């Protein structure tokens, strides 16, 4: 084993290449071992829908399903046309991304499901066929861009984060040249949001960024991708650090992007041409400002959450909401202190839903998942944590909410996360329905998305 170690704010991160030589019909098989959020071999070439599909069905919708079966069968037209048939509404499928295998191990494998809430059917998609994970994605109005890190097993491998474009029925091969994103080598795309024509992507590169270092090292990365052309913006970022840009969101004219690592936060505004550094303004207004984990827009202002803080940003000033959120959290372990973070924020047209616990890909210490609504008209925060399943509220080790998305047809929410290294998938519509079995075989649900 050849082992390279990089430091991420004092945390050792390992990139390993494990070469396993096996005598199998006279061939040599290479297997790549990868620890969390780093990769030495990645792919961006995708194939169309495979000839088999794994699906789960349930006879019940409310509460934990009582019947479930796992089957493998050839794709049939009614299933492939999910969202297009007479029995499905195009806005009624969700995407659920994450992984099986634990963070900080060499056995992470990506999982991505497309789920019909009406039919209670899910099918497994394959963003990469080797190791990896799904960190996030964004919808352009017609197509999804979904990414993370990953590597193909078999053909020639790409060293960069994969870009998986999906139109609701088929995956679409992307034709990007690897050299366009070479400084992302071994890194990860954590977030993507679209202006309708291009996706802004952000995360971490681990290759050589000449403006930062002359050797491979972890650094903040950002770029634009229109489905075929990738423009790397990492060298244009106002500041650099050994960290990750976890979140970004578009408001119609600008993108807000943020990240950092643990107790060090950064936040930038991007107008499509240049960046403005807002980090010092954030630190001045938010004493507990640390790594940014989530950003969302409601038509008037951004809501920004992260490790130990929550704030509004209206394009000119930050308004610290951390104390109000802490007051609403009824249980002491939920207070925004230590490594407790606002991991996801979503707006349904009338109110915000916030969820958190330990940050994504951070599995060091106890944590309890929490859920809070915020009504901007009344400025009232309401703790919904008691609505979560008991296994999430009182885990044996730790639990966290990692991602929230809105179903536009009714304003209800889809919620993803984990409890004790097992995935959580919930539907919140007054009460909570547990849909976890529709995304079986996952240890962490990192991201959820809703079409429409």
Q: Tens digit of pLDDT for each residue in 47-59?
A: 232 222 233 333 2
Q: Using alpha carbons, list the distances in angstroms from residue 53 to 74, 124, 159, 236.
A: 6, 6, 28, 42
CB-count exposure of residue 440 (10 Å: 0-12, 13-18, 19+) = middle
**How far is the CA of 421 from the CAs of 59, 199, 428, 433, in angstroms?**
26, 31, 22, 20
Q: How far apart are CA 133 and CA 445, in angstroms?
A: 10
Position 27 scores a pLDDT of 29
CATH number (3.40.50.720, 1.25.40.10, 2.120.10.80, 3.90.1300.10) of 2-450 reads 2.120.10.80
Q: What is the pLDDT of residue 1?
A: 18
Q: Is the pTM of this model over 0.75?
A: yes
Helix, strand, coil percent content, the chain, rounded in steps of 5: 10, 45, 45
pLDDT at 59: 25
In this structure, are residues 132 and 151 in contact, taking their beta carbons and an 8 Å threshold?
Answer: yes
The DSSP-derived string for 169-192 is SSEE-----GGGGGGGTT-EEEEE
Interacting residues of 370 by C-beta distance below 8 A, sequence separation 6+: 329, 331, 334, 355, 356, 357, 383, 385, 388, 401
Distance (Å) of CA 1 to CA 14, 30, 31, 33, 244: 12, 12, 11, 9, 27
- As a whole number of angstroms, the distance between CA 144 and CA 149 comes to 16
CA distance linking residue 440 with residue 452, whole number of Å: 24
Mean pLDDT, to the nearest integer, of 293-304?
A: 98
Mean pLDDT across the chain: 79
DSSP 89: -
302/296 Cα distance (integer angstroms):
5
Measured distance CA(126)–CA(130) in Å, rounded = 9
pLDDT at residue 203, as a whole number: 97
Mean pLDDT for the stretch of residues 18-43: 29
Per the model's pLDDT, the better-predicted residue between 429 and 88 turns out to be: 429
CB atoms within 10 A of CB 434: 18
CB under 8 Å to 176, separation ≥6 — which residues? 44, 163, 225, 228, 229, 230
Cβ atoms of residues 149 and 188 within 8 Å: yes
Predicted confidence (pLDDT) at residue 216 exceeds the cutoff of 90: yes
Within 10 angstroms of residue 296's Cβ, the number of other Cβ atoms is 23
* 43 has a pLDDT exceeding 80: no
Domain borders along the chain are: 2-450
pLDDT at 136 over 90: yes
**β-sheet bridge partners, residue 403:** 416
202 vs 139: CA distance, rounded Å:
15
80 — pLDDT class (breaks 50, 70, 90) = very low
- Which position has the higher pLDDT, 319 or 335? 319
Q: Has residue 106 got a pLDDT over 90? A: no
What secondary structure does DSSP assign to 358-409, as a single string?
Answer: SPTT---S-B--EEEEEETTTTEEEE-GGGS-HHHHS-SSBEEEEEEEEETT
Q: Where are the alpha helices (DSSP H) in 224-287?
A: 279-285
In this prediction, residue 219 carries a pLDDT of 97
Contact 250, 234 (CB under 8 A): no
Q: Quote the pLDDT of residue 63.
A: 29
Which of 33-42, 111-120, 196-205, 358-367 has maximum average pLDDT?
A: 196-205
- What does the alpha-carbon distance between residue 33 and residue 106 come to, in Å, rounded to a whole number? 5
- The token duo for 163 is 């870009």
* pLDDT of 66 strictly over 90: no
Mean pLDDT of 73-85: 31
Find the mean pLDDT for residues 273-300: 97
Please tell me the distance from the alpha carbon of residue 403 to that of residue 416, in angstroms, as a whole number: 5
- For the segment 342-365, the average pLDDT, to the nearest whole number, is 93
Nearest residue to 301 via CA among 310, 293, 309 = 310
Cα separation of 64 and 385, whole Å? 18
């Amino acid at each position: 084993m050849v082992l390279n170690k990089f430091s991420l704010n004092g945390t050792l991160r390992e990139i390993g290449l494990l070469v396993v030589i096996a005598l199998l019909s006279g061939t040599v098989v290479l297997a790549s071992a990868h620890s969390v959020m780093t990769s030495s071999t990645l792919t961006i070439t995708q194939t169309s829908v495979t000839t088999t599909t794994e699906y789960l069905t349930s006879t019940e919708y409310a509460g934990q399903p009582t019947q479930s079966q796992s089957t493998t069968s050839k794709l049939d037209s009614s299933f492939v046309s999910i969202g297009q048939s007479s029995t499905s509404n195009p806005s009624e499928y969700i995407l659920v991304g994450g992984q099986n295998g634990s963070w900080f191990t060499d056995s992470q494998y990506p999982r991505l499901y497309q789920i019909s809430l009406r039919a209670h059917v899910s099918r497994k998609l394959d963003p990469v066929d080797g190791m990896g994970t799904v960190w996030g994605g964004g919808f352009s109005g017609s197509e999804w861009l979904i990414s993370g890190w990953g590597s193909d097993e078999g053909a020639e491998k790409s060293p960069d984060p994969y870009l998986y474009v999906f139109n609701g029925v088929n995956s679409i091969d992307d034709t990007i040249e690897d050299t366009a994103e070479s400084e992302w080598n071994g890194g990860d795309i954590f977030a993507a949001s679209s202006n309708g024509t291009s996706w802004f992507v952000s995360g971490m590169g681990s290759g050589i960024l000449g403006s930062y270092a002359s050797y491979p090292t972890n650094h903040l990365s950002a770029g634009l991708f229109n489905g075929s052309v990738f423009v790397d913006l990492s060298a244009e970022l106002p500041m650099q650090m050994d960290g990750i840009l976890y979140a970004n969101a578009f408001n119609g004219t600008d993108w807000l992007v943020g990240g950092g690592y643990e107790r060090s936060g950064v936040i930038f505004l991007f107008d499509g041409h240049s960046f403005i550094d807002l980090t010092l303004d954030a630190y001045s207004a938010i004493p507990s400002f640390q790594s940014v984990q989530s950003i969302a827009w409601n038509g008037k202002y951004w809501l920004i959450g992260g490790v130990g803080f929550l704030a509004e940003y209206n394009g000119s000033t930050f308004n610290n909401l951390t104390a109000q959120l802490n007051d609403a959290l009824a249980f002491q372990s939920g207070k925004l202190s230590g490594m407790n973070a606002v991991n996801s924020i979503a707006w349904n047209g009338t109110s915000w839903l916030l969820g958190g616990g330990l940050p994504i890909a951070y599995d060091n210490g106890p944590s309890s998942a929490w859920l809070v609504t915020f009504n901007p008209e009344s400025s009232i925060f309401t703790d919904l944590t008691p609505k979560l399943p008991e296994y999430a509220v009182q885990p044996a080790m730790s639990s966290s909410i990692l991602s929230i998305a809105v179903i536009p047809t009714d304003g209800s929410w889809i919620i993803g996360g984990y409890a004790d290294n097992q995935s959580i998938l919930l539907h919140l519509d007054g009460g909570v329905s547990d849909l976890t079995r529709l995304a079986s075989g996952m240890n962490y649900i990192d991201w959820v998305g809703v079409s429409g």
